[in-house]
A and B are shown apart, each in its own frame.
Chain A
Amino acid sequence: MRATLEIINRMQADGVIGKYAIGGAVGATFYLEPAATLDVDVFVTLPASPGSKLLSLAPIYDYLKARSFKVEQEHVVIGDWPVQFLPPSNDLEREALTEAVEAEVEGVKTWVMTAEHLVAIALNTARAKDRARILQFLEQDAVNVDKLKLLLQRHGLLPKWKNFEGKYVDKDLNG
């Protein structure tokens, strides 16, 4: 992972990407016990091309391909990790990027989404693995529920949360 993050930081220094934050299962591992995953989700802001309002991942792929990194479907293998670069697709993900916290892996600086943003994004995505991850955050007391609820309210996700709580959250967890 060290090599992976060094390259991503280099991409940032070279202006290929702007701010970035690790999300998904690897991001969640910052707060929880490790859970198996095959790739790293890296949310990135992309510098807009002059004269174009469209954001494209092409500069990222061009940069990495020129340095002989292997592209496998939607991933680029950097170091020993397949990395998926994801531009934020809504205000919640944009905010998650802006408010990401600094972390360190083997002496290399990086950024990870906050626990509250990881839970909100998982709630929004709502696949089985996302629901399981939300429960892990709650069970391990790894998320500030008051802060989370404010965030969910801001992004119109409170009804979805109520639904989730009603279906999956044990009363013991609610206190």
Chain B
Amino acid sequence: MVKSSNNSKQARRKRLASLSFSEKVKILAKLRDRSKAIAASRRRLAEAAEKAARQ
């Protein structure tokens, strides 16, 4: 089971690596936006927790 999952992961990585640079750069932009959204959400949660702790 684990081996099959690793194989499919490898196949997916290979498929992604074989895309054109233009296509890969579009994925990079999506990953960047997602990372930024996660960071902003973490900041909001930390601020809310800080505010709650002060009250």
Q: Which B residues, 4 to 39, have Cβ-Cβ distances below 8 Å to chain A?
A: 13-14, 16-17, 21-22, 24-29, 31-32, 34-36
Give the nearest-CB partner of B14 in chain A. A140
CB neighbours of B27 from chain A (8 A): 34
For residue B11, give the distance in angstroms from its CB to the closest CB of chain A.
11
User: In the complex, how many residues of chain B place their beta carbon closer than 8 angstroms to a beta carbon of chain A?
Assistant: 17
Contact A32 B36 (CB under 8 A): no
Chain B interface (Cβ < 8 Å from any Cβ of A): 13-14, 16-17, 21-22, 24-29, 31-32, 34-36
User: In the complex, how many residues of chain A place their beta carbon closer than 8 angstroms to a beta carbon of chain B?
Assistant: 22
CB neighbours of A37 from chain B (8 A): 28, 31-32
CB neighbours of A104 from chain B (8 A): 21-22
A105-B22 in contact given A38-B35, A38-B36 (Cβ < 8 Å): yes
Contact B28 A34 (CB under 8 A): yes
Chain A interface (Cβ < 8 Å from any Cβ of B): 1, 25-26, 29-38, 80-81, 103-106, 112, 140, 142
Q: Select A31's contact among B13, B17, B34, B35, beta carbons within 8 Å.
A: B17
For residue A137, give the distance in angstroms from its CB to the closest CB of chain B.
10
Contact B13 A1 (CB under 8 A): no
Q: Select B32's contact among A33, A36, A106, A112, beta carbons within 8 Å.
A: A36
Give the nearest-CB partner of B23 in chain A. A34
Give complex CA distance A31, B20 in Å.
10
Q: Could you name 11 residue pairs across A and B whose Cβ atoms are closer than 8 Å?
A: A29-B25, A29-B28, A31-B17, A34-B24, A34-B25, A34-B27, A36-B35, A38-B35, A106-B25, A112-B21, A140-B17
Contact A32 B32 (CB under 8 A): no
